[in-house]
Amino acid sequence: MEDKQKIPLKNEIYRKLIHLFAIVIPIIYLFISKPLMILLSGLFMLSMIELDVLKQKYKGVANIYNKYLGDVLRYSEKDFKKRKFTGGTYLSIGAFITVLFFEKNIAISAMIIMIVSDSFSAIVGKSIGKIKIFQKTLEGTLVFFIAGLLLILFVTPKMTPFPEEVYSAIIALAICTVLDVIPFNLDDNVLIPVSFAFFYSLFFSLLT
């Protein structure tokens, strides 16, 4: 959801549009096996980590990165000496962990929630958010939950036709929404998919 490090609304929208392009990750996973997706997401993660390392070590690489993507970076992300990873790298880490440890449909659902719900909540929180909850806004948090609920009901793949699975996903979404408001020292791109997938799996096993 929204970040306390202020960047202009226009740049926030550009950032989240780029974030939305990551929807190709769960879409690809719909059509390939888990072992192949582990390989692909692992390579993606390693490539993003390597890029961040190169930006930290070589000024030329950092300058090129800032030239083309500097407008959509948080202020802390622009200082490559202080922050090793950018949001895109954390997204790749969150995707890899989710693919590796959780059932296919749950992992796909978790990534869709992370990519779509977080994008819309950030834009709403940035543009009209007024009521602060720690580093977030109530408006952005409500949009996160509502968008996630709609995705669970109408978009995300299911393992069974039973309503208990939907209940499990909604409970997981509610917990994930609360956790995302709490100012943990953990990037949303990791916290959201991993926590959602974990609680989805837990309650699915308890309710079915």
pTM of the model as a whole: 0.90
Averaged pLDDT, groups of 10, the chain, 208 residues long: 59 83 96 98 96 86 74 64 79 98 98 96 90 92 98 96 96 97 92 98 94
Which residue in this structure is represented by tokens 């300058």? 63
> What is the number of alpha carbons within 13 Å of residue 136 lying toward its C-beta?
21
CA 59 to chain centre: 28
Which residue in this structure is represented by tokens 């995300």? 156
Phi, then psi, of 137 in degrees rounded to 5: -125, 155
pLDDT, residue 75, reads 64
Nearest to 192 by CA among 122, 91, 120: 91
Q: Is the dihedral of CA 146, 147, 148, 149 positive or negative?
A: positive
Are 129 and 189 in contact by the 8 Å Cβ rule? The answer is no
With 0-12 CB in 10 A as exposed, 13-18 as middle and 19+ as buried, what is 123?
buried
